[in-house]
Amino acid sequence: MGRHSMGEADTTSQSDALTLRGVGKTYRSGLLGRGPEHVAVAGLDLDVAAGTVHALLGPNGAGKTTTVSMVATLLAPDAGQIIVGGIDARRHPDRVRDIIGVSGQYAAVDGNLTGFENLRMVAQLYGHSRRDASARARELIDELDLSTAADRPMRTYSGGMRRRLDLAGAVINRPTLVILDEPTTGLDPRGRRQIWELIGRLVSTGTTVLLTTQYLEEADELADQITVIDGGVVKARGTADSLKARFGEAGLQVEVAPESCTATVRTALAEIGTGPPARLDDGTWEIPVAAGTRSAVAAVQSLNAHGVECLDAIVSTPTLDSVFLSLTGAHARSGADDVL
Ligand SMILES: Nc1ncnc2c1ncn2[C@@H]1O[C@H](COP(=O)(O)OP(=O)(O)OP(=O)(O)O)[C@@H](O)[C@H]1O
């Protein structure tokens, strides 16, 4: 597979590929927009360095799709500034469209056409000659591992294949910024991993990726930087590790002697935890704690002081799930929720 031919972006510096300043969008419903207003995005700032993956992470209704739709020039912001590759998106949306690729627009162009025909058509819509369009379509079909299905009608494709074809459509014009709205929602773990690999390859060629996701492991795996949004505002931003360090809660798993009094264990653990202890089905206990191994020592001491024998105490490191929960009050999607 041609590792370095997929994106062929010309952004090699670490300058910003995308900048948002004070971007806002309010939806107005009712006749002539005179009904209730809904603020979907409010005063959003974002800086995405060239050649990196930036994930917008948030629960349902957080404002992720609205944000990327504005960057993709599919929706006009009411306020603020969006600069893509040095171009003001509100003033020059056509020029921005020339340098971006957007997912979700190509997979279902025509289900009766083959994957190859679909891609060739997309390339022709971008102005490539039929010959160049064919060559580019074949090249991407190889790179996206779709060769065996390339000459079958699209309607026979699995969800994962459609998603890969859609990604091919998004990169066919060699964009410098690729915008992917929930690129793996609904895919099984294998399909999800394939898309992650493709995104990794895109970025290794210098392309910048802005993606939205509700999956923590996706942001954790792919993103150089994560912006957590909820209710249209930024709750936090940083690398996965820095978010975990700042907002994540460590957990302590404790095993006590089987004959121990439940109420006493609860009391002893409550004294050292940062939240209520929970007794799991297998009889072990779990409790959120301030990060650090001292919590395990503190648990043993507290249990001993209450006359409870502690058999084991292990501190687990903070996960992005606890970050998500503490910032948005919602649990993230696990990825197993919505397999096709
Ligand atoms: N066309 C619209 N008219 C009115 N309200 C809208 C419209 N589109 C989105 N909204 C509302 O704006 C808010 C942000 O929606 P958006 O689709 O951007 O969120 P999201 O983070 O992408 O959520 P999801 O993960 O569910 O797609 C939500 O409360 C949504 O109901």
Whether 122 contacts 109, CB under 8 Å: yes
Whether 50 contacts 208, CB under 8 Å: yes
How far from the centroid of its chain's Cα atoms is residue 43's Cα? 21
Beta-carbon-side half-sphere exposure of residue 217 (alpha carbons within 13 Å): 10
* Closest-lying ligand 1 atom to the alpha carbon of residue 232: 14
Residue of 157, 50, 86 lying closest to 169 (CA atoms): 157
CA of 336 to the centre of ligand 1 (A): 23
The whole-angstrom separation of Cα 238 and Cα 51 is 16
* Closest-lying ligand 1 atom to the alpha carbon of residue 229: 21
Q: Whose CA is nearest to atom 28 of ligand 1?
A: 61
The DSSP letter of residue 215 is B
Residues 6+ apart with CB under 8 A from 142: 1, 2
- The two counts, helices (H) then strands (E), for the chain are 11, 14
- The interface predicted TM-score (ipTM) is 0.96
The correct CATH number of 16-245 out of 3.30.2350.10, 3.40.50.2300, 3.90.580.10, 3.40.50.300 is 3.40.50.300
CA of 249 to the centre of ligand 1 (A): 29
The whole-angstrom separation of Cα 266 and Cα 257 is 14
Q: Quick one: tokens of 126?
A: 């971008």
- Residue 109 buriedness (CB in 10 A; 0-12 / 13-18 / 19+): middle
CA of 40 to the centre of ligand 1 (A): 6
* Angle at alpha carbon of residue 243, lines to 240 and 248, rounded to 5°: 115
> What pLDDT shows up at residue 292?
66
> What pLDDT shows up at residue 109?
65
Residue of 200, 199, 152 lying closest to 179 (CA atoms): 199
The whole-angstrom separation of Cα 150 and Cα 128 is 20
Residue with tokens 């820095």: 242
Topology, domain 249-317: Alpha-Beta Plaits (3.30.70)
Whether 40 contacts 68, CB under 8 Å: no
> What pLDDT shows up at residue 214?
84
> What pLDDT shows up at residue 108?
59
Q: Quick one: tokens of 174?
A: 């060699």
CA of 49 to the centre of ligand 1 (A): 26
Q: Whose CA is nearest to atom 24 of ligand 1?
A: 60
The whole-angstrom separation of Cα 288 and Cα 299 is 12
DSSP for 149-175 reads GTTSBGGG--HHHHHHHHHHHHHTT--
* Closest-lying ligand 1 atom to the alpha carbon of residue 62: 21
DSSP run (H or E) holding 53: strand 53-57
CA of 139 to the centre of ligand 1 (A): 36
DSSP run (H or E) holding 266: helix 262-270
CA of 45 to the centre of ligand 1 (A): 18
> What pLDDT shows up at residue 7?
40
Q: Quick one: tokens of 81?
A: 């500034």
* Closest-lying ligand 1 atom to the alpha carbon of residue 58: 21
Residues 6+ apart with CB under 8 A from 196: 184, 218, 221, 222
Q: 3-class SS at 141?
A: helix
The whole-angstrom separation of Cα 277 and Cα 287 is 4
> What pLDDT shows up at residue 333?
62
Q: Within the chain, which residues score under 50 in pLDDT?
A: 1-14, 336-340
Sketch the domain layout of the chain as residue ranges: 16-245, 249-317
The DSSP letter of residue 333 is B
> What pLDDT shows up at residue 245?
79
Q: Which residues line ligand 1 (CB under 6 A)?
A: 27, 29, 38, 40, 58, 60-66, 214
CA of 231 to the centre of ligand 1 (A): 10
Whether 64 contacts 181, CB under 8 Å: yes
CA of 24 to the centre of ligand 1 (A): 13
Residue with tokens 């940062």: 274
The whole-angstrom separation of Cα 313 and Cα 43 is 45
> What pLDDT shows up at residue 8?
40
With the most atoms of ligand 1 within 8 angstroms of its CB, the residue from 23, 25, 29, 38 to mutate is 38
Q: Quick one: tokens of 266?
A: 């609860």
With the most atoms of ligand 1 within 8 angstroms of its CB, the residue from 29, 65, 181, 228 to mutate is 65
> What pLDDT shows up at residue 337?
47
